[in-house]
């Protein structure tokens, strides 16, 4: 497996419930290193650009409102097969369908407020890392 980087976001429901440390521990315990991180409150413009691929979906307005509703911890995770490994650690989008022990199974509230984001492909990871960490090479 190749060394990769992926973008993670701990979403507002999880920061509000003080799950940041517990969620970061899942990444580190699985062998992923946190190589950059920042706690921010997104603007509607940032959230809309980040989720631009979903703008035709019926829940887009709700998704943007949710993503700006509180602090988010945006980080870059690095390690072997980081993109797929992070998606496995996260579990399914709908926490009711997420495997036991996954982050969404343990910490998500609902399909909308589902605790974490993770890039779903190398192309998405590159785009998302550039969007939030433009200063990094
Ligand atoms: P993913 O985060 O597992 O990659 P996507 O399908 O890319 O899932 O959806 C992006 C985000 O949009 C989800 O993480 C969730 O916050 C929200 N979302 C997805 N499906 C629904 C839905 O049916 N209702 C409300 N929000 C949704
Ligand atoms: Mg997605």
- Residue range 25-73, pLDDT digits in tens: 999 999 999 999 999 999 999 999 999 999 999 999 999 999 999 999 9
Q: How far is the CA of 117 from the centre of ligand 1 (A)?
A: 9
pLDDT computed for residue 124 by the predictor? 98
Residue 2 has pLDDT above 80, yes or no: no
Identify the residue whose C-alpha is closest to ligand 1 atom 18.
112
- What are the phi and psi torsion angles at 94 (to 5°)? -85, 115
d(CA 31, CA 12): 25
Average pLDDT, the chain: 97
How far apart are the CA of 111 and the centre of ligand 1, in A? 6
CB 103 within 8 A of CB 17: no
The answer to whether the CB of 63 is under 6 A from ligand 1 is yes
Position 82 scores a pLDDT of: 98
State if pTM tops 0.95: yes
């Amino acid at each position: 497996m190749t060394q990769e980087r992926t973008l993670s976001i701990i979403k507002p429901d999880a920061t509000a419930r003080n799950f940041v440390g517990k969620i970061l521990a899942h990444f580190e315990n699985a062998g992923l290193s946190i190589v950059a991180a920042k706690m921010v409150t997104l603007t509607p413009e940032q959230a809309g650009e980040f989720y631009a691929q979903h703008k035709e979906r019926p829940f887009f307005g709700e998704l943007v409102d949710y993503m700006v509703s509180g602090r988010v911890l945006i980080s870059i995770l690095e390690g072997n097969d980081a993109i797929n490994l992070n998606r496995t650690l996260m579990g399914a989008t709908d926490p009711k369908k997420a495997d036991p022990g996954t982050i969404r199974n343990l910490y998500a509230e609902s399909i909308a407020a589902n605790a974490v984001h993770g890039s779903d492909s190398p192309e998405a990871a590159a785009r998302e890392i550039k969007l939030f960490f433009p200063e990094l090479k």
